[in-house]
Amino acid sequence: MIIKPSTSLRNDYNTISQIAHEEEKPVYITKNGEGDLVLMSIDAFEKREAIIELKEKLLIAEEQRLNKEKTTSLDSAYKRIRKKIDDKL
């Protein structure tokens, strides 16, 4: 965990930005010794958002499976995707 005081954000933004980009982790900013903000690079944020979105979709799929909703086999899904691609060519 990377923790920096708010004064370093104000006085040395470039270093904080560089740390966020190089480490690809959130940088925690404190104010008066208490947690205040979390900063991260756009790439790290977008990667994190994509992971959360994928996990949400997997959770929905697992709930559907447990509720015995209709599913599609991997082979069937592959064939449907392949057909759509072939139809566009």
Per-residue pLDDT tens digits for 26-70: 999 999 999 999 999 999 999 999 999 999 999 999 999 999 998
Selection from 35, 32, 34, 29 nearest residue 15 by Cα = 29
pTM of the model: 0.70
The CATH fold assigned to 2-40 is YefM-like fold (3.40.1620)
- Cα–Cα dist 89/83, whole Å: 10
- Cα–Cα dist 78/23, whole Å: 37
Cα 82 to chain centroid, rounded? 28
How far is CA 39 from each of CA 11, 17, 32, 33, 47, rounded to the nearest angstrom? 16, 9, 17, 17, 14
Domain boundaries, given as residue ranges, for the chain: 2-40, 44-88
